[in-house]
Amino acid sequence: MTFDRRIKIAPSILSADFANFGAECRAIEAQGCDWVHVDVMDGHFVPNLTFGPAMCAAIRPHIKGVMDVHLMIAPVDPYIDAFASAGADVITAHLEAGPHIHRTLQAIRGTGRKAGLALNPGTGLDAVVHLLDLLDLVCIMTVNPGFGGQKFIESQVAKVRDLRAMIGDRPIHIEIDGGVTPETAPLVAAAGADVLVAGSAVFKGGSVDNPAPYGANIRAIRAAAEGALGQQFAAK
Active site residues: 39, 177
Among 161, 154, 71, 68, residue whose Cα is nearest residue 118: 71
Angle at 164 between CA 162 and CA 170, to 5 degrees: 140
* Other Cβ atoms within 10 Å of 124 Cβ, number: 10
As beta bridge partners, residue 210 has 207
Radius of gyration, CA atoms only, the chain: 16
8 and 196 in contact (C-beta within 8 Å)?
A: yes
Three-state SS for 8?
strand
DSSP E strand stretches across 170-231: 173-177, 195-198
